Amino acid sequence: MAHAHESNVKRIWMVFGLLSVVTIVEVFLGIKKYDSLHLTIFLGTSILNWIFIILTLVKAYYITWTFMHMEGEKTWFRRAVVWTAVFLIIYLVTLLLIEGDYLYSTLAPLVRW
């Protein structure tokens, strides 16, 4: 590890601060669900949900990059781990969203309320 060690501790606390702020924002929006965000649909789900998903991906990025020290690993090792997982997860989620849509549109009208 040839990089400056002293700056590491400060950087760790800064990332902690960032993660805390993001979590506080998420929790605040989760409790106070503003109708403008909660009820407006965009690309299949509400804007509020999109905010949650994007903020979660931001947190995941920072945890992996700094806490798990991915930034220190060699480029192609990083990609072997991250690209594999991301590709497979996106593939699975895409298929399941398509299927879920079909299931809902076929079965929901049949339920007697």
Partner 1 sequence: MEANIAVPNEKKSTWGGGSVKPFGASYGKMMMWFFIVSDALTFSGFLAAYGLTRFKFIDSWPIADEVFTHIPFVHGEFPMIYVAFMTFILIFSSVTMVLAVDAGHHMKKQKVAWYMLLTIIGGIIFVGSQAWEWNTFIKGSYGAVKTTDGKILQFVKEKEVDGVMKYKQIALSDFVTGERGDELVEHSKKNGLWFESGETVSQYSIAQIIRSYEANPDVQIRTELIDLEKKQKTILSREKGAAELAKTKMVVEGANLEVNEYGNTIFADFFFFITGFHGFHVFSGIVFNIIIFFNVIVGTYERRGHYEMVEKVGLYWHFVDLVWVFVFTFFYLV
Does the protein bind partner 1 through residue 21 (CB under 8 A)? no
Q: What is the DSSP letter of 3?
A: S
Which residues share a beta bridge with 45?
A: 42
Nearest to 50 by CA among 65, 75, 29: 29
Do residues 19 and 63 lie in contact, with contact meaning Cβ atoms separated by under 8 Å?
A: yes
Least distance CB 44 / partner 1 (angstroms): 10
Q: Tell which positions 37-76 bind partner 1, by CB under 8 A.
A: 38-39, 45, 49, 52-53, 56, 59-60, 63-64, 66-69, 73-74, 76
Q: Kindly state the helix (H) or strand (E) to which residue 40 belongs, with its residue range.
A: none
Task: Supply the Cα-derived Rg of the chain in whole angstroms.
Answer: 19
Residues that bind partner 1 (CB under 8 A): 1, 5, 8-9, 12-13, 16, 19-20, 23-24, 26-27, 29-31, 38-39, 45, 49, 52-53, 56, 59-60, 63-64, 66-69, 73-74, 76-77, 81, 84-85, 88-89, 92-93, 96-97, 99-101, 103-104, 107-108, 112-113
